[in-house]
């Protein structure tokens, strides 16, 4: 009982304040999207997204209370079980899931659907933290690394099967956590390089240019290798062959896709190529944000984020409403809130006494960061359109609950940081 | 272990945030492109053209009204996969024409790919009926309705004026922002003078569209909308029946007829010959017809009643007589021998008094009268004496409304010319001048100029025995029942009413027994008139041509109802063409019909010189 009395004193209120500010702003913006002039709508109306979001916020509060009451050891203890349960749900989705917006990612519970993929993040964070936090874990051990990749790879693959590419990509962000915990940065660089080549293959019309480029680089590398060491030469050649194979496989797979899928992927990477077709989303999103100017049009005064000019207005493109109605100043404020939250979580993670909690904290920060970066990046046209929500901001129960669980488990761990054995 | 990695991660977060803010600053603050795109994206401005005021005749007969007209507009960026074959079929265009239309579109000053721009203008109602059902097949094309002028009568074209799209020059001058490109504006006549009343106020409705172009309601709850206010209707002073009759009489002739109701200054008819068909300057063929009409060598767009300046001719003698009487340099009994050595004359008469001189239009008499007027012996120097006399003469003569525009409610009115001392100083370049240099003005020749409207006004002034109300064409603007305030005001001349009575008696005599007796006199009605023949000799024309036939009149003598001036160019003596037409107009107006087929036939035959 003593613990429970203390939780309100020990919890990090700065983070809670930032969380509440972001959730509240998100709620107001969801109302702004649904608001129609002259219809006398109420933000509390349950038939509107804003009313339902309020319900999700209230239930999040209940979740928070539950998380704070549940013993901190529960999460560490049951990490694998929770992870296994979520993987099971992910397996179920393609079989009994219902289709929403082209993706089969939902499990129906009564009239509400939930997306197991949203909770997969939380489960994966738990197992990764548990594994890295386990006694005798060493990052430089190849077996350990393989296990880590398997842990993030499994949910990623299952989510890819649901064609929810955006959520699947979130799991790549664990690489940053691994990096923090001592993994060689080269692994991250190789990952980034592979992604770059993948994108390049799709953007360059004639892949022969890439082959020739690789050939040239290979030749130069061989010639530069003055000492003619056989091992180096083999390595360079192997690298070149790997690149060629990768490009051609991407090329072949891409060409196997149907025409409209091809176009979708290309326009995802280069929205300007088709402003009225598949690039529409980004173009409209930029118009909406750009029309806000410095000070914005004012709360509820937006014209672009209503009437479906911008797709997924209250979920993936919610940031457009900020940009349009509150202008650059509003964007600055919103971005500052998110950065403050991220830095605060990293700060909290660094003060943890055990590795489990620290890895957990970093994972939370990185997942938030990935969502924040990709979501706002796509709305302003810096990233391809990948449909993932803005944490706490976008409309939707699953995502709000998922992010809330992620954050508050960490706050619970942080509140009890002094009680754990040092196990760094 | 892993020193500095925390910092790298934190830095990554901050850098990404900053990159976003920079990118946002570019698209939100620096680049205005998005704002413009947004406006055209969501808000569809729909121009609400006001209904232009209608124009009625004095008896409430509709003359000018509106008929719907449709423009096909295009929002270029919304046009997707245009089926050119179907488009050409629906709009009856060839592929070549369609190509040209797109070329023309891009050349338009107001062209914007994201805003509605006129693509095909002035579709008729018939076209519209056909197109309406199929317009949905062509996304990006919209139909904008507005109205154009239509006419119940083909008469009165010059007085009514025409309406057409506002010119670029006029648009540039519109600093109040009333007009937009493509708006209609009155270009001449009543349409131009009463533009502000007739126009009404254009409106704009801002509609919100969603991404599919479907209108979702009005923007900002309609708060930004401006509703169109229809223009005010005008009731003119014209009797369209009399007007049409006048135009019938003037067919094939150049000149003008003006009929005024003396007591009110209301213009009953104002004919300018040759005229044009006002319906030709509306609708689709406007440009083509306008070119034809404006290049016509007969100048049908030249509104003779107020733009053609003539020397007044003998009708001016009535005015001279009254000025002289007023100055007491003559009495009605003053007799002057018809000495034709200085100035020619016509008809058998020798030593007339004033009435006889007017009746016979005796030139030497009025030469003598003007000398008495100008040289009253107020100075011993004959030059100064003339100067004093002329100044006095000018004061009187301009009080009739001569020498300056009267101020009719039409644009482009000319004022004529009444010489003043300053005028002759300029004309003679500082060299001295005296009566013998300027006596031609005595008989309405020489330097003075009048427009036909001023002569009609003069006849009305005589009818009113001393005052006039500025002639005007509109008696009621909107529901006010009143004309503009300046058309209610009496303008008194410097001449006493008893002198007008003398002029009236003389003019009665002209019609009863003088130059006008054969064609101008009417049974049962006392007509007062004066003939005139404006010389077109080799001095003023490139070659000698027949005189202009001129006649002014009013009737009846007691309680006059109508005052008339008629000018028929190059038709000889005033007693012929002009007197006939004037008397027919009077007859038509007072009786509603004419009972002298031989006179009408004479006018229609048009052979006045034989």
Distance from the B270 Cα atom to the nearest Cα atom in chain A, whole angstroms: 56
Residues A256-278 have a mean pLDDT of 59
pLDDT band at B41 (very low <50, low <70, confident <90, very high): low
Contacts of B512 (CB under 8 A, 6+ apart): B521
The verdict on a CB contact (< 8 Å) between B21 and A331 is yes
Which residues neighbour B371 within 8 Å (Cβ) at sequence distance 6 or greater? Answer: B435, B439, B442
Residue B331 pLDDT exceeds 70: yes
Q: Where are the alpha helices (DSSP H) in B482-549?
A: 497-512, 517-520
Candidate from A6-10, B49-53, B492-496, B546-550 with smallest mean pLDDT:
A6-10
Contacts of A172 (CB under 8 A, 6+ apart): A152, A156, A191, A370
Tens of pLDDT along B107-121?
776 676 666 788 888
Contacts of B81 (CB under 8 A, 6+ apart): none
Q: Give percent above pLDDT 70 in chain B.
A: 92
In a 3-state reduction of DSSP, which class is residue B428? Answer: coil
Residue A354, classed as helix, strand or coil, is strand
State which residue of chain A sits closest to B3, comparing Cα positions: A180
Contacts of A38 in chain B (CB under 8 A): 217, 221
Closest CA to A48 of A300, A292, A286: A300
Chains A–B, number of C-beta pairs less than 8 Å apart: 129
Question: Comparing C-alpha atoms, which of B270, B268, B265 is closest to residue B305?
Answer: B270
For residues A409 and A360, is the Cβ–Cβ distance under 8 A?
Answer: yes
* Confidence band of A407 (pLDDT split at 50, 70, 90): very high
Instruction: Give me the phi and psi of B428, to 5 degrees please.
Output: -95, 5
Residues A327, B28: C-beta atoms closer than 8 Å: yes
Q: Is the pLDDT of residue A335 over 60?
A: yes
pLDDT at A1: 42
**pLDDT at residue A35 tops 80:** no
What string of H, E and C letters represents the secondary structure of B404-422? CCCCCCCCCCCCCECCCHH
A11 in Cβ contact with A415 (< 8 Å):
yes
Nearest to B552 by CA among B449, B471, B461: B461
pLDDT higher than 70, residue A205: no
CATH code for the structural domain at B240-288+301-605: 3.40.710.10
Please give the average per-residue pLDDT across A253-258, as a whole number. Answer: 66
Q: Which residues in chain B have Cβ-Cβ distances shorter than 8 Å to A179?
A: 5, 9
Distance between CA B60 and CA B152 in Å, rounded? 13
> Can you give the residue ranges of every domain in chain B?
36-53+200-234, 67-147, 240-288+301-605
- Compute CA distances B410 → B298, B426, B519, whole Å: 21, 31, 32
For chain A, say whether B41 makes contact (Cβ under 8 Å): yes
User: Can you give the pLDDT at residue A261?
Assistant: 58
Q: How confident is the model at residue A417 (pLDDT cuts 50, 70, 90)?
A: confident
Whole-number Å distance between alpha carbons of A165 and B317: 103
Tallying the residues shown for chain B, one arrives at: 610
User: Which chain A residue has the Cα nearest residue B44?
Assistant: A303
Mutate which: B1, B10, B13, B114, vs A, most A CBs within 10 A: B13
A4 band by pLDDT with thresholds 50, 70 and 90? very low
Q: Which residues of B touch A289 (CB under 8 A)?
A: 24, 27-28, 34
Any idea what the Cα angle at residue B344 is, between residues B340 and B349, rounded to 5°? 60
Residue B139 has pLDDT above 90, yes or no: no
pLDDT value at residue B64? 93
Q: What is the CATH number of domain B67-147?
A: 3.30.1390
Three-class HEC string of B107-168: HCCCCCCCCCEEEEEEECHHHHHHHHCCHHHCCCEEEEEEEEEEECCCCCHHHHCCEEECCH
- pLDDT tens string A350-391: 998 888 999 999 999 999 999 999 899 988 888 777 778 899
CA distance B334 to B365: 10
> pLDDT value at position A3?
47
B20·A294 Cβ contact <8 A: no
Would you place residue B222 in the very low, low, confident or very high pLDDT band (cuts 50, 70, 90)? low
Which residue would you say has higher pLDDT here, B58 or A205?
Answer: B58
Confidence category of residue A39, pLDDT binned at 50, 70, 90? low
Residues of B in contact with A338 (CB under 8 A): 17
What is the structure's pLDDT at A250? 73
* Cβ contact B409:B462 at 8 Å: no
Q: Indicate the pLDDT class of residue B83, thresholds 50, 70 and 90.
A: confident
User: What pLDDT does A208 receive?
Assistant: 76
Q: Which residue, among A69, A75, A64, has the nearest Cα to A356 in the 3D structure?
A: A75
Average pLDDT over residues A221-250: 77
Q: What is the pLDDT of residue A341?
A: 96
- Radius of gyration of chain A measured on its C-alpha atoms: 23
List beta partners, residue B567: B256, B550
The mean pLDDT value for B521-541 works out to: 80
Residue B364, H or E segment: helix B363-374
- What lies within 8 Å, CB to CB, of B324 at 6+ separation is B330, B369, B370, B372, B373
For residue A260, is pLDDT > 60? no
Sign of CA dihedral A334, A335, A340, A341: positive
Average pLDDT, chain B: 86
Q: Count Cα neighbours of B293 within 13 Å in the Cβ-side half-sphere.
A: 21
Is the CA virtual torsion B587, B588, B592, B595 positive or negative? positive
* A303–B5 C-beta distance less than 8 A: no
Cβ separation A307–B16 shorter than 8 A: no
pLDDT single digits (tens) B157-203:
999 999 988 888 888 777 666 787 778 899 999 999 999 899 888 77
Q: Which of the given ranges, A293-307, B123-137, B138-152, B264-278, has the highest pLDDT on average?
A: B264-278
> What is the phi-psi region of residue A104: left when phi exceeds 0, alpha when psi lies from -120 to 50, beta otherwise?
beta
What is the rounded distance in angstroms from the CA atom of residue A45 to the CA atom of residue B608?
91
Rounded (10°) angle between helices B316-326 and B382-398: 110
For B125-139, B218-232, B320-334, which range has the lowest pLDDT when averaged over its residues? B218-232
Query: Stretch B552-581: mean pLDDT, rounded?
Result: 90
Which tokens in the block code for residue A296?
A: 């914005």
- What pLDDT score was predicted for residue A2? 45
Contacts of A342 in chain B (CB under 8 A): 13
**In angstroms, what is the C-alpha Rg of chain B?**
33
pLDDT category at A256 given cuts 50, 70, 90 is: low
Residue B553 pLDDT class (50, 70, 90 cuts): very high
Token digits of residue B282: 């509306």
CB contact under 8 A, B21 and A332: yes
| Residue B21 touches partner A, C-beta closer than 8 Å | yes
* Domains of chain A, residue spans: 2-183+257-419, 186-256
Position with higher pLDDT, B355 vs B122: B355
């Amino acid at each position: 009982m003593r613990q429970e009395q203390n939780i309100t004193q020990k919890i990090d209120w700065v983070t809670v304040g930032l969380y509440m500010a972001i959730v509240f702003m998100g709620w107001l913006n969801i109302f702004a999207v649904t608001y129609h002039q002259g219809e006398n709508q109420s933000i509390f109306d349950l038939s509107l997204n804003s009313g339902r979001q309020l319900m999700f916020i209230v239930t999040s509060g209940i979740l928070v209370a539950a998380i704070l009451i549940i013993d901190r050891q529960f999460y560490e203890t049951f990490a694998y079980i929770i992870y296994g349960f979520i993987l099971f749900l992910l397996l179920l989705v393609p079989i009994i899931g219902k289709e929403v917006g082209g993706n089969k990612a939902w499990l129906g519970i009564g009239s509400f659907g939930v997306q197991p993929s949203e909770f997969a993040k939380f489960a994966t964070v738990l197992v990764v933290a548990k594994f890295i936090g386990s006694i005798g874990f060493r990052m430089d051990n190849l077996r350990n690394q393989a296990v880590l990749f398997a842990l993030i790879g499994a949910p990623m693959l299952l989510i890819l099967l649901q064609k929810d590419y955006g959520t699947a990509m979130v799991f790549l962000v664990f690489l940053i956590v691994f990096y923090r915990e001592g993994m060689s940065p080269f692994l991250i660089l190789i990952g980034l390089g592979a992604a770059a080549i993948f994108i390049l293959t799709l953007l360059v019309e004639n892949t022969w240019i890439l082959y020739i480029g690789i050939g040239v680089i290979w030749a130069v590398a061989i010639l530069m290798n003055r000492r003619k060491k056989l091992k180096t030469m083999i390595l360079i050649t192997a690298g070149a062959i790997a690149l060629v194979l990768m490009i051609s496989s991407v090329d072949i797979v891409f060409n196997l896709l149907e025409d409209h899928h091809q176009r979708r992927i290309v326009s995802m990477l280069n929205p300007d190529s088709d402003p009225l077709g598949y690039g529409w989303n980004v173009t409209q999103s930029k118009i909406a944000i750009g029309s806000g100017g410095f000070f914005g049009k004012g709360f509820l005064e937006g014209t672009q984020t209503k009437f479906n000019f911008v797709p997924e207005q209250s979920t993936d493109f919610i940031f457009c409403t900020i940009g349009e109605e509150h202008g650059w100043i509003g964007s600055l404020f919103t971005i500052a809130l998110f950065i403050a939250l991220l830095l605060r979580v990293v700060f909290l993670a660094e003060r943890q006494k055990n590795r489990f909690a620290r890895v957990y904290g970093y994972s939370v920060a990185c997942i938030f960061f990935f969502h924040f970066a990709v979501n706002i990046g796509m709305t302003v046209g810096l990233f391809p359109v990948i449909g993932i929500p803005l944490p706490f901001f976008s409309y939707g129960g699953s995502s709000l609950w998922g992010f809330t669980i992620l954050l508050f488990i960490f706050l619970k761990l942080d509140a009890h940081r002094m009680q754990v054995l040092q196990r760094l | 272990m892993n020193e500095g990695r925390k910092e790298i991660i934190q830095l990554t977060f901050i850098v990404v945030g900053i990159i976003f803010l920079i990118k946002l600053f570019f698209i939100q603050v620096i680049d205005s492109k998005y704002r413009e795109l947004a406006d055209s994206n969501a808000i569809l401005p729909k121009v609400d053209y006001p209904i232009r005021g209608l124009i009625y005749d004095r008896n409430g007969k509709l003359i000018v009204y509106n008929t719907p007209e449709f423009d096909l507009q295009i929002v270029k960026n919304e046009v997707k996969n245009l089926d050119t074959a179907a488009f050409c079929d629906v709009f009856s265009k060839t592929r070549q024409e369609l190509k040209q239309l797109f070329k023309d579109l891009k050349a338009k000053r107001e062209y914007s790919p994201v805003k509605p721009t006129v693509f095909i203008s002035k579709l008729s109602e018939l076209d519209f009926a056909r197109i309406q059902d199929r317009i949905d097949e062509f996304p990006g094309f919209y139909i904008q309705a507005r109205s154009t002028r239509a006419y119940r009568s083909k008469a009165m074209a010059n007085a009514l004026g025409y309406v057409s799209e506002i010119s670029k020059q006029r648009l540039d001058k519109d600093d109040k922002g009333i007009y937009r490109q493509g708006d209609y504006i009155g270009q001449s006549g009543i349409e131009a003078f009463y533009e502000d009343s007739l126009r009404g106020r254009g409106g704009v409705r801002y509609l919100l569209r969603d991404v599919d172009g479907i209108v979702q309601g009005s923007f900002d709850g309609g708060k930004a909308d401006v509703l169109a206010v229809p223009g005010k209707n005008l009731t003119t002073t014209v009797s369209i029946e009399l007007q049409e009759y006048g135009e019938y009489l003037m067919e094939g002739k150049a000149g003008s007829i003006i009929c005024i109701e003396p007591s009110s200054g209301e213009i009953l008819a104002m004919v300018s010959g040759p005229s044009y068909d006002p319906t030709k300057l509306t609708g689709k063929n406007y440009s083509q017809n306008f070119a034809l009409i404006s290049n016509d060598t007969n100048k049908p767009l030249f509104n003779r009643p107020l733009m053609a300046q003539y020397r007044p001719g003998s009708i001016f003698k009535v005015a001279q007589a009254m000025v002289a009487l007023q100055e007491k340099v003559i009495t009605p009994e003053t007799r002057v021998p018809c000495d034709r050595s200085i100035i020619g004359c016509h008809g058998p008469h020798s030593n007339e008094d004033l009435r006889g001189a007017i009746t016979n239009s005796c030139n030497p008499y009025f030469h003598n009268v003007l000398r008495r007027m100008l040289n009253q012996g107020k100075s011993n120097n004959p030059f100064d004496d003339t100067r004093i006399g002329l100044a006095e003469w000018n004061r009187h003569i301009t009080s009739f409304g001569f020498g300056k525009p009267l101020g009719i409610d039409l644009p482009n009115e000319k004022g004529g010319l009444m010489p003043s001392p300053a005028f002759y100083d300029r004309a003679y370049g500082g060299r001295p001048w005296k009566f013998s240099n300027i006596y031609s003005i005595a008989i309405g020749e020489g330097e003075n100029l009048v427009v036909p409207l001023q002569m009609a006004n003069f006849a009305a002034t005589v009818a009113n025995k001393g005052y006039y109300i500025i002639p005007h064409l509109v008696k009621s603007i909107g529901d006010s029942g009143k004309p503009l305030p300046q058309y209610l005001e009496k303008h008194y001349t410097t001449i006493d009413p008893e002198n007008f009575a003398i002029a009236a008696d003389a003019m009665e005599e002209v019609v009863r027994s003088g130059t006008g007796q054969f064609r101008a006199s009417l049974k049962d009605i006392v007509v007062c008139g004066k003939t005139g023949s404006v010389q077109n000799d080799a001095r003023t024309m490139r070659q000698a041509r027949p005189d202009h036939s001129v006649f002014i009149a009013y009737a009846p003598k007691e309680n006059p109802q109508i005052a008339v001036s008629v000018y028929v160019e190059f038709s000889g003596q005033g007693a012929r063409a002009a007197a006939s037409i004037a008397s027919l107009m009077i007859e038509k107006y007072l009786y509603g019909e004419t009972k002298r087929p031989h006179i009408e036939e004479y006018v229609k035959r048009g052979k006045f010189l034989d």
